[in-house]
Amino acid sequence: MRISLRCLQSLKTSLATKSVLEKYASFNPSPLSLKKFVEFGRMGAMECSKEGSSKESYAFLQKELPVRLANIMKEISLLPENLLKMSSVKLVMSWYQQSFKELIEFENQDRINKNIMENFTHTLINIRNRHSNVVETMAQGVMELKENHGIDSNTENRIQYFLDRFYMSRISIRMLINQHILLFGKKEKNNDPRHIGCIDPNCNVSLVVQDAYENARFLCEQYYLAAPELNIVSKNSSVLENESDPIQIVYVPSHLYHMLFELFKNAMRATTEHHSEEDQIPPLNVMIVKGQEDLSVKISDQGGGIPRAKLELVFQYMYSTAPQPARSDIASAPLAGYGYGLPLSRLYARYFQGDIVLNSFEGYGTDAIIYLKVLSNEANEMLPVYNTTASKVYHTDIPVNDWSSSWVTSHRLQNPTPKSRS
């Protein structure tokens, strides 16, 4: 009898959670700009308004975080059935379900007091820690699917579409959580007094470039016993600053570092391998330019370039020119891994309306360009929204090609697409 009651109670809880999930998934996420993050953070840094700001942050996050989680959780449920059966994907799903369940416990708290605020911050820390290996675990799930069942072109397109949205959602959720914890958490404070949470209002781009280069160089020298040197040229074209002023913007240094570190690793690997038989390795040339709207960072290498036919593939999650990492140690390969580095770096750039573009000169080298927004009020979050348009993508096959060429024909013969069942 007790077991039956427990099962009944568990079923009621599950149905109630599902109902709440549907409710939150019906709302669109509310994107913030870097300017809003900074303005709110500055208020929170002032002792006279700190308590009020922490309550405002709580009031926003206890509604917004469940919305962002619910939106992407609905999309997880639309993934191919074989992928949902993979143990790694099941584990990721369980993390999201647990985090959503913990957040909605704060839904009906009428009176906000100190204990509730502390419990909420503690919950956010637990959620952040729980989701720390989401990228690797989901990548493992896709690898499991590929190894056990294979992936046709339609499934690959759907997974690519999902992963872009899934990882972008994760970036945004971690951004909100980190800001709250760094601003209002007791134990976790940012070491740099200039920073507002994880945002630097005067992020010195050259210093981040130098830092990312040095760390990538250390790995390259460990792996190849050599590494290319670095040349940096900067030009400040902002009308509000002098040309000689250091190039600074409002940005998240860790995001910029992530992009630069990945691009430097790729450039160093290509350059060192391409010139392995030569006495001297050509340097990497970096140009940093600040205009009225865009800040551009161009990394130019002489690593042999990428064939034009493969240029689009480098941003595919299931494409990598490097050996896959060992299952037992995800971080075992020093200069390569799952092939997620470039796609994720582009998401970090696009998160605040920037981008990463590659221009290749096959036989010579590659230019990788990071574009960032100069004006913080224009750097708005780019967030995935679950709606009928998004859901259709998971049930729509690739349209039949309406162009004829020898390349298309040969490509089809080499990579036949299974006929979809009507």
CB atoms within 10 A of CB 244: 7
| % helix, strand, coil for the chain, step of 5 | 55, 10, 35
> In the annotation, is 149 catalytic?
no
Q: Please tell me which residue in 64, 144, 262, 381 is annotated as part of the active site.
A: 262
> In the annotation, is 235 catalytic?
no
Q: Please tell me which residue in 180, 195, 255, 258 is annotated as part of the active site.
A: 258
> In the annotation, is 293 catalytic?
no
Rounded to a whole number of angstroms, the CA Rg of the chain reads 24
Who's near 384: CB < 8 A, 6+ residues apart? 29, 71, 72, 75, 165, 166, 168, 169, 390
CB atoms within 10 A of CB 309: 10
Nearest to 91 by CA among 101, 80, 81, 83: 83
Q: Please tell me which residue in 266, 285, 290, 373 is annotated as part of the active site.
A: 266
φ and ψ of 366, to 5 deg: -135, 140
Distance CA 19, CA 22 (A): 5
> In the annotation, is 262 catalytic?
yes
Distance CA 54, CA 178 (A): 13
Distances (CA, A) of 55 to 90, 163, 391: 35, 33, 35
Q: Active-site residue numbers?
A: 258, 262, 265-266
